[in-house]
Chains A and B, each alone.
Chain A
């Protein structure tokens, strides 16, 4: 058999093609997914897309908390610092300054690259090779070119030969290294040395925040610098337009947008968004060059509409602040509730802080005293005992209660009034705030009956609002109750509650003896009520509480022209280890307005007024009047009394 040459060649070509095709088939079809994966691993990166937190609104749709886009600058310090060192080394090896390098590069540009010089010394060449700087190339070429000069004239011809390696630089790429500290410092508004020190100190770390919470436009400028190892991270920053006014209630987030206090903490899971993911292609220096796709879009957090009325909150804040200054008080707090629905309209605690200012977010000012501080409610609970006693029939409306000589002895303890009030009716017991009278009324009931009352109005538990840091009320078990407990509880000592508990309890008087749970969120429909005390007894007690505010009562300063006000003052000795402080008080006032059709309940507590005046009627009652006056107007509550009366 004779081989024809052309057949052989043809066969060989075919064999070659088959080899190529089979390899192509192997790579393109059989191994394609594996290879693509490996390729992607090297350049496709998944980045997080930050999601904003939900917005917090007040009941009228005013903003209380909002997330706005911000950016952080971080550096891969190891890479960044390495490039800086290598670039300095490069200049040292060449023995020229940066300016000289740039002049040369400008003068001898050929297309994208600029010729610097030919380097015959192999040691220098090796040193430059080892630096591995982007934008610096060593070539062996024969070439002659006319560099373009900026003035347009043609310069001298430059000839490069291939006998020794020539050094070329890409000016655009070098830009990512040159003057990096200074460029960053200028945009970040600090000094070059500060930036340099910060990066040098962290030079082994792969992730260092240079600055957080930057305005987006500054971040854009930094991104445009295209520096190696410098990255921008989009994020959101929380703003609190209400500032100090609603600081305690709303709380705040930390710099990573996680709730730390108040509602931001309590409802963190609801408010926080779910970060999305996107895929991008990055180059060798880690810069994003192309966007591939959104893997998962960012899901913003859910919004919250609170029951708070920002305006009432503001007036409460302002009134408390001026009282705190006037009476040099240690702290002050107040709660306003919607009498019909149990919604919290305002909750203020002072001293306050501005949640927008990170330096203020520590220390004792961040405590929301409305819920964290336990107090003994003192005389403010006397109306409850009267209502309950009327309801169970222990007393009648015109019962004669003899309080002389202004003191009684129970189990060896002396309970006193400020002075001898003589024989009092239940109405006068409330109006004159007689401890002896309240004690005697309490003793007409059984311990169980009284204990049931305190439990039913919520003095033995927390408020149910899930606010962080809440101290819950405590009541001794009824089995441990002795007559002394019964008596002291009747005028508000011997058990601890927070101010919100007290405000909640006062809903009883605003709803004819019925109560409903509190709510921090705006309700669409009124909540279900549960009966605690009979309607008749509560209404009668409410009329008695009106006398407290009338001339001759303890709080005429709580009168509001045009409205009937019912309330009760309290002046409580502060507890200390093993007893009570002689000269430190909490001044309290709790009130319901207007009496004919209650719209709001407000409770005020001023802690340690230290200007000599400390009675609840003189310190706390004016706050009630001031705030309620504005709130009644804001809520368009009709007058139930002529202004000219009184």
Chain B
């Protein structure tokens, strides 16, 4: 019985050590992933910066900010309110 208990203690300690190592590895991985995320987010915000998009829209796509209805850049459609149906 004593032998068994001692062996069990050793076994549990071994498992704890294993789990701890796994935990630290996972922690490191999270940190790495976070840093990578940060880098990617910075890249994304850089690429999607409004000023950059505006520049590209102007120069490459020849888009315009002139939103008057007269030259056909903007069209407003009004959806008529649906008629209230009488309840059956």
Decide if B38 touches A68 in the complex (CB within 8 Å).
yes
Report if A68-B35 is in contact (Cβ < 8 Å); known contacts: A314-B50, A562-B76, A643-B69.
Answer: yes
Residues of A within 8 A of B35 (CB): 68-69
Is B27 among interface residues, defined by CB-CB distance under 8 A? yes
- CA of A68 to CA of B34, assembled, Å: 9
- CA of A63 to CA of B49, assembled, Å: 11
Can you name the residue of chain B whose Cβ is closest to the Cβ of A315? B50
Chain B positions 24 through 47: 1 when the CB is less than 8 Å from some CB of chain A, otherwise 0 = 100100000011001101100110
16 contacts between A and B (CB under 8 A): A63-B41, A66-B38, A68-B35, A68-B38, A68-B39, A68-B42, A241-B42, A241-B45, A241-B46, A242-B45, A297-B27, A314-B50, A318-B51, A639-B76, A642-B78, A643-B76
Report if A66-B76 is in contact (Cβ < 8 Å); known contacts: A294-B24, A314-B50, A643-B69.
Answer: no
A-B contacts counted at CB < 8 A amount to 36
Can you name the residue of chain A whose Cβ is closest to the Cβ of B35? A69
- CA of A311 to CA of B54, assembled, Å: 12
Question: In the assembled complex, how far is the CB of residue B19 from the closest CB belonging to chain A, in whole angstroms?
Answer: 15
Q: Which 10 A-B pairs have the closest CB atoms?
A: A241-B45, A314-B50, A643-B76, A68-B38, A63-B45, A63-B41, A69-B35, A66-B38, A239-B42, A241-B42
Residues of A within 8 A of B78 (CB): 642
Can you name the residue of chain A whose Cβ is closest to the Cβ of B45? A241
B-to-A contact residues, CB < 8 Å = 24, 27, 34-35, 38-39, 41-42, 45-46, 49-51, 67, 69, 76, 78
A residues contacting the other copy or chain, number (CB 8 A):
22
Can you name the residue of chain A whose Cβ is closest to the Cβ of B69? A643
Decide if A62 touches B45 in the complex (CB within 8 Å).
yes
Report if A311-B50 is in contact (Cβ < 8 Å); known contacts: A69-B35, A297-B27, A643-B69.
Answer: yes
Chain A positions 221 through 265: 1 when the CB is less than 8 Å from some CB of chain B, otherwise 0 = 000000000000000000101110100000000000000000000
A-to-B contact residues, CB < 8 Å = 52, 62-63, 66-69, 239, 241-243, 245, 294, 297, 311, 314, 318, 562, 629, 639, 642-643
Residues of A within 8 A of B38 (CB): 66-68
- CA of A629 to CA of B74, assembled, Å: 13
- CA of A245 to CA of B41, assembled, Å: 18
Residues of B within 8 A of A69 (CB): 35
Decide if B42 touches A66 in the complex (CB within 8 Å).
yes
Residues of A within 8 A of B27 (CB): 297
- CA of A62 to CA of B47, assembled, Å: 13
Question: In the assembled complex, how far is the CB of residue A564 from the closest CB belonging to chain B, in whole angstroms?
Answer: 16
Question: In the assembled complex, how far is the CB of residue A169 from the closest CB belonging to chain B, in whole angstroms?
Answer: 38
Can you name the residue of chain A whose Cβ is closest to the Cβ of B76? A643
Decide if A66 touches B50 in the complex (CB within 8 Å).
no
Residues of A within 8 A of B24 (CB): 294
- CA of A266 to CA of B40, assembled, Å: 28
- CA of A66 to CA of B34, assembled, Å: 11
- CA of A297 to CA of B51, assembled, Å: 40
Question: In the assembled complex, how far is the CB of residue B58 from the closest CB belonging to chain A, in whole angstroms?
Answer: 13
Can you name the residue of chain A whose Cβ is closest to the Cβ of B50? A314
Looking at B42, B45, B69, the one whose CB has the most chain A CB atoms below 10 A away is B45
Partner of B41, one of A66, A242, A311, A318: A66
Residues of B within 8 A of A242 (CB): 45
Residues of B within 8 A of A52 (CB): 34
- CA of A242 to CA of B50, assembled, Å: 9
Residues of B within 8 A of A643 (CB): 69, 76
- CA of A562 to CA of B69, assembled, Å: 12
Residues of B within 8 A of A562 (CB): 76
Question: In the assembled complex, how far is the CB of residue A302 from the closest CB belonging to chain B, in whole angstroms?
Answer: 14
Question: In the assembled complex, how far is the CB of residue B65 from the closest CB belonging to chain A, in whole angstroms?
Answer: 10
- CA of A68 to CA of B78, assembled, Å: 49
- CA of A311 to CA of B38, assembled, Å: 21
Can you name the residue of chain A whose Cβ is closest to the Cβ of B78? A642
Looking at B38, B46, B76, the one whose CB has the most chain A CB atoms below 10 A away is B38
Can you name the residue of chain A whose Cβ is closest to the Cβ of B67? A629
